[in-house]
Copies of this chain bind each other. A is one copy, B any other.
């Protein structure tokens, strides 16, 4: 029930949030097409695991909800969307959250244009970069004291470095072959690429912003990393099972469930 109430509030705030980002960065003025697709992409239905984890991370240690708490929570969702855009380019995924992926969307857009000098792999990073910057800017809107904001923000950035490194490591491993990979390497990729920013970071940054101490955030970090690795193992197993049952499920539903 509490999770459902948080999720409803997140969906409502997401609408307000997108309008505020637009006002702050003049996006619909300078880049109407780009803003339209980012907005549509962001407002798609999703599980919202990251903002949902961020909120108890914060509220578990705070006396009251700070101003713009939900915007701060949503910034992590936006950061996730940015990684989805970059991942879909890498995997050439056509669907994301039950609708065409940004990769598919831009491919379609380019098909209709007569002069195609660039391809979709050129356009999508730029749209992802804008989402990345918007997310980071939104994280700082929370009205909390500066030392906590700095500490939480640095942790968020460190996690962005980990995610990028994990993504890079995964691609490198793809060039040597799965059967040669060690279990520890796979776990390291899970930890860097998924566990840190999906589970650990929402909990830990929320707690840091609310003033939790090192011991408390250390516990949340360990819990988040382990829960994240477990999540990713299950997610990969489901992918394998789904691949074996090809044709029996609707790809739109599969995609919705995976994120």
Contact = CB atoms under 8 A, between A and B. Distances in A.
Contacts of A161: 25, 27, 130, 133-134, 137
B165 A31 contact: yes
Contact of A129 (B31, B86, B146, B176): B86
Interface stretch (A111-119, A205-213, A239-247, A248-256): A111-119
A129 B132 contact: yes
* Copies of the chain in the assembly: 2
Given A115-B175, A175-B110, A167 B136 contact: no
Contacts of A123: 168, 171
A164 interface: yes
Interface of A: 24-25, 27, 30-31, 33-34, 86, 89-90, 110, 113-118, 121-123, 125-130, 132-134, 136-137, 140, 146-147, 149-150, 153-154, 157-158, 160-165, 167-169, 171-172, 174-177, 188, 192
Contacts of A113: 175-176
Contact of A140 (B30, B153, B169): B153
A186 to B, nearest CB: 14
